[in-house]
Amino acid sequence: MTQTALVAPLDFKVIDRVAVVTFNRPEALNAMDPEMFAAFREALQRIAHDDDILVGIITAVGERAFSTGSDLKKTFPPSESFAELAFGRMGADKMDIFAGIDTPKPLIAAVNGIAVAGGLEIALFCDIRICSNKARFGLAEVRIGSIPGAGGTQRLPRAVGLSDAFLMLLTGDQADAAEALRMGLVSKVVEPSELLDTAMAIANRIKLNAPLAVRAVKRLVYEGLDTSLPNALKVERYVWGTLRNTEDRIEGRKAFTEKRPPVYRGK
């Protein structure tokens, strides 16, 4: 079953429990103006809270650009002071595109072209990244006296390691698809015509698994990055015990024994 909704300048579709978010401002290299910014946050919230959605894919129209970040022609410095933005009501949302958004479900970035500045930071927010052979990645904010302000300095090193991250962050140089694959920024490089199908195939394999277990794995991985290995292993054991008697785990074992596909209910 396919449900379709248009939230210009962003397309949102749900195809058999997989949400596909497509940036749709190709004339502006999918740069994010305030309207697109709001639509994207709305899409992430929908993925997070809609029980009918199990996996999300983020991609863009065409082969030229995934996103170049903020549209500098339509976004201007805020009138509020930094303190107002940092501590005022709803201030954090104006400072960080991901503020207040917890997406427990897996997100796949299908990068079709240029992903720089905030565009790369969006890809880094996703859990799995694949790209076409036309993709290019970069965080060049130091060239204009700034820094990546939506997680780039923190998520890039976690994704690719310190040396490769520093090379990109301090020079502002771009990485092509082959280099992105080498450093682990993406998991696969495919032809442009195969990109969305490849992302959908990955999503379809994920959605066959027990939803509670999938979300538990995502949480464990990210929380484990922020603590010591012994503590992380203790939490892992606790979560294993929490899932042990769930209906889905019992169903998984029965299905394996009976040599049939499991039917998971997220319980």
Which member of 42, 63, 141, 223 is catalytic?
141
**CA distances in angstroms from 254 to 113, 239, 259, 261, 266, listed in the order given:** 44, 21, 8, 10, 16
Comparing C-alpha atoms, which of 106, 175, 107, 105 is closest to residue 138? 175
CA 125 from centroid of its chain's CA atoms? 4
Of 42, 63, 121, 179, catalytic: 121
- DSSP letter assigned to residue 86: H
> Residue 109 — φ and ψ, nearest 5°?
-95, 125
In the residue annotation, 27 being an active-site residue is answered as no
- The answer to whether 141 is a known catalytic residue is yes
Radius of gyration of the chain from Cα atoms? Answer: 19
E runs forming strands in the chain: 2-7, 10-15, 18-23, 55-60, 65-67, 107-111, 114-116, 128-132, 136-138, 175-176, 188-190
* Cα–Cα dist 78/91, whole Å: 11
Give catalytic residue positions.
Answer: 121, 141
